[in-house]
């Protein structure tokens, strides 16, 4: 029997984030690559590296041009990257005598990596908005319940009395640091522009100036080529991991506080048991723990992309494409769960 609406795994009810997943679709990846191509042409025109007529033709072509996605998927399976087929089709659409100015001096990695940074900028915007909402929730809970006494626990044993405000500070303080980290990353996301072997020689004597202009056009930061140094990707991944890890710690605390014999936090809603109808399981808190652990594991996997061969590694590059979207989505989903979980929460004295 085939059930309509059951075309994704049930676990994705928790782990997926539609807003962030949308930024890693084939369509969005192509769109971001074309943004790079248009900005590159504009920057080269501004520096008199390209005739006005060629730039105008490229820009006019890109306005309503819709490349065949299925063909690009097919070509991607052969080339291991979408840019060669995309550039060939764009050059055909632009036509002679201007086709040679499309993607002039650039390589596939310039387009893919810069396009990824454009999409990650939107990811960071989403996370910042949700993180701001969560911090506001924690502040409001502290205002409402902050003076209520609780028992602090160290190594799973009762330690000394403190307050709900003290407990919430252990949650909010690292979240504030994560928000600062995300903002710093957002303001320093780098372009990638190195040409075929990452030296920039293919762009001529105006290369350094070209980088500055391109970065300004795209709203990114100027940077030396990082073809073989994947630190910028790992920096972003680490931010996702730290955020999900702190949210997992919060989820773990909430699950412990929600235990029947402890009951220092009251949650609205909860999961039921098929055998014990009296139970109200802290499902969202548990999933926050799971997503934190997932990103910790994925960080270890993604870190292997730092060990890459020579000037460009197809294997390391492909690993990033597989792992990084999962990490972004896990961080986003965990933030949503935390906001929803704490929306109707209340605290009770634990002393």
Q: Is the pLDDT of residue 206 over 60?
A: yes
For residue 97, is the peptide bond before it cis, meaning its omega torsion is within 30 degrees of 0? yes
How high is the mean pLDDT of the chain?
91
Mark 313-346 as b/e (b = at least 16 C-beta within 10 Å).
beebbebbeebbbbbbbbbbbbbbbbbebbeebe
Query: Nearest 5°: phi and psi at 161?
Result: -70, 145
227-244 pLDDT, tens digit per residue, is 999 999 999 999 999 999
Task: Examine the pLDDT at 106 and tell me if it is beyond 50.
Answer: yes
DSSP 33-98: HHHHHHHHHHHHHHTTSS-HHHHHHHHHHHHH----HHHHHHHHHHHSSSHHHHHHHHHHHH-TTT
Question: Would strands 265-266 and 149-154 be described as parallel, antiparallel, or unpaired?
Answer: unpaired
> pLDDT at residue 308 above 60?
yes
Question: Tell me: the pLDDT tens digits for 71-90?
Answer: 888 888 888 888 999 999 99
Estimate to the nearest angstrom the gap between the alpha carbon of 45 and the chain centroid: 32
pLDDT over 90 percentage in the chain:
75
Q: What are phi and psi of 136, to 5 degrees?
A: -65, -40
Query: CA-based Rg of the chain, rounded to a whole angstrom?
Result: 24
Q: In the chain, what is the straight-line distance between the N-terminal and C-terminal CA atoms, in Å?
A: 54
Helix (H) or strand (E) holding 266: strand 265-266
Q: What are phi and psi of 149, to 5 degrees?
A: -80, 145
> What's the token pair of residue 87?
């550039």
Q: What is the pTM of this model?
A: 0.92
Which 8-state DSSP code applies to residue 277?
T
Helices (H) and strands (E) in the chain, counts: 12, 4
Name which of 3, 79, 11, 65 is nearest 35 in CA terms: 65
pLDDT of 7 above 70? no
Q: What is the pLDDT of residue 170?
A: 97
């Amino acid at each position: 029997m085939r059930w309509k609406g059951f075309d994704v795994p049930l676990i994705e009810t928790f782990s997926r984030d539609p807003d962030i997943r949308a930024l890693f679709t084939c369509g969005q990846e192509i769109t971001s690559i074309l943004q790079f191509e248009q900005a590159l042409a504009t920057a080269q025109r501004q520096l008199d590296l390209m005739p006005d007529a060629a730039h105008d033709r490229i820009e006019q072509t890109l306005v309503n041009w819709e490349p065949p996605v299925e063909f690009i998927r097919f070509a991607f399976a052969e080339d291991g990257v979408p840019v060669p087929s995309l550039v060939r089709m764009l050059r055909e659409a632009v036509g002679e005598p201007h086709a040679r100015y499309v993607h002039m001096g650039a390589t596939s990695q310039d387009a893919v990596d810069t396009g990824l940074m454009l999409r990650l900028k939107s990811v960071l915007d989403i996370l910042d908005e949700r993180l701001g909402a969560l911090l506001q929730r924690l502040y409001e809970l502290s205002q409402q319940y902050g003076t209520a006494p609780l028992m602090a626990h160290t190594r799973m044993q009762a330690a000394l009395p403190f307050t709900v405000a003290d407990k919430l500070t252990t949650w909010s303080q690292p979240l504030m640091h994560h928000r600062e980290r995300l903002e710093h990353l957002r303001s320093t996301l780098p372009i990638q522009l190195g040409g075929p072997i990452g030296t920039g020689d293919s762009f001529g004597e105006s290369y350094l100036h070209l980088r500055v202009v391109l970065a300004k056009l795209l709203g990114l930061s100027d940077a030396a080529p990082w073809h073989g140094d994947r630190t910028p990707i790992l920096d972003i991944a680490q931010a996702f991991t730290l955020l999900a890890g702190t949210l997992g710690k919060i989820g773990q605390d909430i699950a412990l506080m929600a235990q029947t014999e402890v009951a220092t936090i009251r949650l609205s809603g909860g999961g039921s048991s098929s055998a014990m109808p009296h139970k109200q399981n802290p499902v969202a808190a548990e999933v926050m723990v799971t997503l934190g652990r997932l990103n910790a594991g994925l960080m270890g996997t993604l870190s292997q992309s730092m060990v890459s061969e020579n000037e460009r590694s197809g294997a390391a590059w492909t690993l990033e494409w597989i792992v990084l979207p999962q990490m972004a989505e896990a961080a986003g989903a965990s933030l949503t769960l935390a906001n929803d979980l704490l929306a109707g929460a209340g605290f009770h004295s634990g002393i």
